[in-house]
Structure 1
C-alpha cells in the first residue's frame, strides 16, 4: 500500500514510517513544519508540507485531499491531533480517502472533558475531580473546591507542555497568573485537576473496529518528563489487566473505531486505578508496542480499508526509551537523586545495554539529529528551555 503519515516532525510518525517501510509499504510523510524530522528519513519515498491543521483546518483538509489524489495514496495514517479534525470532517473526506477514525460524537465523549467526566462517573470509573480554571475569579478559591495538591494543564498539547504543580501552601494567584501568561493560550482551555498520589503510571491502548474490541496493550512508565508526571520517556511493556476491564467499560458503549490511549495511575495508598486522561489517537509511546512485537500498523491499515482486524499478542518486560525526552529530564533526575553517581550510572547503562530508542537507528540516523536541531532552534527562539508548542493550538475542535 501507499500510506500517508501526517505530523512528520514527531517521533511517533518516525516510528510508524519505519515500521510501515519494514512491512513493504510505500510511505509518504507530511507536516506543516518545514524540515520535519521524517523528511530526512530514508524510509520515506516522498514528503510535502500542508497548512497547519490548527490555524487553517480548511486549508489542511483541502491539501490532504489534493495530495491523496495526486500521489495515489491508499490510506491516510494521522498521528497526532489532526486525527481529531479527520473525525470532525469525516463525512467530507470519507468518500475521498481511507482513514480509521471514530464518529465525531464518539470522539467528543472521550475528548471533551465535561462529557468524559460524566461518562466516567456514570460507569463508576475512578478519575480525579477536574475543573476549568476559567470558573475561578480568584485562583485561591481552588483550594476550597480542590483541597490538597492540584495540577494545571491545557486540554490539548504535548504530554509535557504546559503542566504546573502549584504549591498548595503558597498563594495560587501569584503562581497561576504568571503561568497563564507564559502559556499564552485561551484561558477556557486550561484545566485544574485533583492530584492523585501515584505509585505507578500506565499507558493502556485500546483498538476497536466498528464498536468491537480487538486488542489492547499496556506499558508502565519507569520515568516521565517531567518526573512529577507527563510523557513517558522510559517505558516497559506489561500485562494490560485490570485496565482492560475498566477501559472496556467506557469504550464498549460508544461505538469506537480506531486507536485510543488511556492513561492510568495507581493510587499510592489504596492501590486503585484512576483514569487520568484519554488521547483518542496514536500515542507518544507507540514504539513501545512496536518493539514488543504488537503489529499496530497492520491493525490500523485493516481498520482503514475495512478488512477484519485480528487480535495479536505482545511481549512483556520490553524496555524502550524516548532518548531526547530522557535527556531533557536528566538534570531534574540528577538533582532529585540521593546518589548522583548511581543516577548517572543508570543513564550510562541505558546506553551500554543498547535499550531501543524511538529516534535513533543506525540504518536511518538523520532524523535523530534533526530533532536536536529543532530543539536548539526553539530554545533560541523562545529564549528558554521550557517546552513550547510550535503552534498556538488555536483551532481546538469541539
Structure 2
C-alpha cells in the first residue's frame, strides 16, 4: 500500500509520514521545495517535486500526471492551499487515487472566516464580534464602534499569516489598508475585523466519515509563535466537553468528511469562543498521535477500507513541542516579561519534540541547517 503526502516541507507532513511509515506503508513525499525536511525521513521511499500550488493549473496537471504514472492508494493533502485546490479538482484526480476530503463547496464555506459568523449565529455558537467593511458599512464607521484591541484577519489564510492587531481607530484604518495593499486583495477578498478575546487558545481536532464522527482530540496551547498569536510551539493534550460538543455540532451540520481542527479561545470567564476552522491537518498533529489518536492512520484506514473504528478516548497531559521554534517564543517572552521562569523552561526534560527523533534523526538536522542558511541570508 502506498500514500502520496503533499507539502513535505511542513512538520505535519513529517508526522504523517512517520505515523504511516511505521506501519510499513510506502510513503512518497511531494513538495514544491527541493530537499524538504520530510524527504529526509527514513520512512520516505520516494520524492515528487511539483510546481507551486500558487499556480493551481500547473500544480494539478503535474499531480495528475504523476498519479497516472505512479500508483498510490491514497493522496493526503497537508497545507490549506493544496487541500482546497485538490478538493476543487478531486474528480479529475480520483481517477487515479482515493482522496479523503470534504466537498469543495464545504471547504470554502468553513475555511472562509467571513462566512463563519453566519453559520455560528444559525447554530447559536459564540464567536467574537466580526465585521466586514462594505459600501453599506464602511471601515470608518466600524472603527468608531468596535471595542479595542481588534484583530485583522485574512479570510482564507491560517497560521497567523497576514494577521495584525489594532489598538485604536486610526491604527485600524491604517493597518487595514496596509493589509489590502500588502496582499494585493480584491474587494471580494478584503479581510475581516474581529474583536480580540483575552484567554487561552484550544484546538479540537476531529475525523469524520461522510458526516459521522470517528475520532476526536483536544489540545491546549501553552505557547505559540509569534507570541501575539500563531501556531502553537508548546501544547498539552486535554479534554473540554463544551468545545468538543460545539466542534461536533459545527462539523456535523456541514456533513464533514476527513480531518479538521476547530480553533477556540477560552475567555477569562471560562466561556469558549469559536475562532476558525482549519479544513486539513494541523501543526500540533504530533500531540494527538502521541496521546493515542493516530489521525493519519485512521484517515488512511478510512480511505482504503471505507471506515475506521471510533476513537473517543486518549491520554491527557501529554506535552509536545517544536523545541527549535519554541526557543524563539521563549526568547521573545523573556524580552517582553523579563521573567526567569522563561529561562528555566529551556531546561525542561523529558519532552516530546515534533521533529527530533532518535529513530528518525535526519529531519531535525535538515531543519536546523535550513534555519542556519536563512539566518545567514538575513
What's the secondary structure of 2:95's corresponding residue? coil
Paired position in structure 1 for 2:9: 9
Paired position in structure 1 for 2:361: 365
Higher relative contact order (CA 8 A, sep 6+): 1
Q: Could you tell me which runs of 5 or more consecutive residues in structure 1 were left unpaired when the two chains were aligned.
A: 384-398
Paired position in structure 1 for 2:126: 126
State the TM-score, normalizing by the size of structure 1: 0.87
Q: Work out whether residues 138 and 173 of structure 1, in 8 Å CA contact, stay in contact via their aligned partners in 2.
A: no
State the TM-score, normalizing by the size of structure 2: 0.91
Q: Work out whether residues 267 and 274 of structure 1, in 8 Å CA contact, stay in contact via their aligned partners in 2.
A: yes
> 2:280 aligned with 1:281, yes or no?
yes
Q: Work out whether residues 140 and 172 of structure 1, in 8 Å CA contact, stay in contact via their aligned partners in 2.
A: no
Q: Could you tell me which runs of 5 or more consecutive residues in structure 2 were left unpaired when the two chains were aligned.
A: none
What's the secondary structure of 1:278's corresponding residue? strand
Paired position in structure 2 for 1:248: 248
Measure the CA separation in 2 of the matches of 1:109 and 1:169: 30
Q: Kindly provide the CA deviation profile for residues 15-52 of structure 1, in whole angstroms up to 9, marking residues without a partner as x.
A: 11111111111111010112211122222011010111
Deviation for aligned residue 1:364: 2.1
Q: Work out whether residues 261 and 281 of structure 1, in 8 Å CA contact, stay in contact via their aligned partners in 2.
A: yes
Alpha-carbon distance change, 301 to 262 in structure 1, aligned in 2, over 3 angstroms: same
Alpha-carbon distance change, 176 to 365 in structure 1, aligned in 2, over 3 angstroms: same
Deviation for aligned residue 1:199: 2.5
Where do 1:329-348 residues align within 5 Å?
329-339=329-339, 341-348=340-347
Measure the CA separation in 2 of the matches of 1:126 and 1:104: 26
What's the secondary structure of 1:48's corresponding residue? strand
Q: Work out whether residues 259 and 280 of structure 2, in 8 Å CA contact, stay in contact via their aligned partners in 1.
A: yes
Deviation for aligned residue 1:141: 4.1
Q: Work out whether residues 260 and 278 of structure 2, in 8 Å CA contact, stay in contact via their aligned partners in 1.
A: yes
Alpha-carbon distance change, 31 to 194 in structure 1, aligned in 2, over 3 angstroms: same
Q: Work out whether residues 51 and 59 of structure 2, in 8 Å CA contact, stay in contact via their aligned partners in 1.
A: yes
Measure the CA separation in 2 of the matches of 1:144 and 1:187: 24
What's the secondary structure of 2:325's corresponding residue? helix
Q: Kindly provide the CA deviation profile for residues 277-322 of structure 1, in whole angstroms up to 9, marking residues without a partner as x.
A: 0000011111010111212122101232242211123111100002
Q: Work out whether residues 217 and 240 of structure 1, in 8 Å CA contact, stay in contact via their aligned partners in 2.
A: no
Paired position in structure 1 for 2:271: 272
Q: Work out whether residues 224 and 231 of structure 1, in 8 Å CA contact, stay in contact via their aligned partners in 2.
A: yes
Measure the CA separation in 2 of the matches of 1:359 and 1:11: 7
Paired position in structure 1 for 2:235: 235
